[in-house]
Amino acid sequence: MADAPRSLPQNLRHYLVNPAALGYLGLVLAVCAWVAVATLPVGQGDFNFAVVWPFFVTAPTSFMFVGYTDWLPAWAPVWTPLIGVPVGAAVQAFVIGALYRSLRKGKGSPNSGTSPSAA
């Protein structure tokens, strides 16, 4: 019997609430917090490249909002590239969560009804 299709909130919860996706989101949050703290003393030091780290951590999705912005409408605000970090983090966490779930699917979990074979 096939499983009943899940709603969008159920799919998001299924793929985002697991150790791999939550660990990745924690890493992104830590990097963003580090950048915020590193850029506080504006008058002291050079922090020009600190602000690119959140984009590197959420790449390649966040780069759609930074480099090639011709697809954005002309009325788009100047801060539109900042949307790339949370969107990139969410997309990447979803993909990581989906990979985590697919790798764990056949590992003999209690719900799968199979046990791992002893080699």
> Residue ranges per domain, the chain?
9-105
pLDDT at 82: 78
What predicted TM-score, i.e. pTM, was given to this entire model? 0.72
Q: Name the residue with tokens 């915020």.
A: 36
Residue-wise pLDDT for 7-47, tens only, equals: 877 777 878 889 999 999 999 999 999 888 887 776 666 67
In the predicted model, is pLDDT for residue 119 greater than 80? no
Supply the DSSP string of 37-106, one letter for each residue.
HHTS-TTSS--TTGGGHHHHHTTTGGGGGTT--TTS-TT--TTGGGGHHHHHHHHHHHHHHHHHHHHHHT
Residue-wise pLDDT for 51-95, tens only, equals: 888 889 998 888 877 766 666 666 666 666 778 889 999 999 999
pLDDT at 52: 85
Could you count the other beta carbons within 10 Å of the beta carbon of residue 92? Answer: 20
pLDDT at 107: 67
Supply the DSSP string of 51-64, one letter for each residue.
GGHHHHHTTTGGGG
Could you count the other beta carbons within 10 Å of the beta carbon of residue 39? Answer: 13
In the predicted model, is pLDDT for residue 114 greater than 60? no
Best CA proximity match to 55, nearest among 45, 68, 41, 65: 65
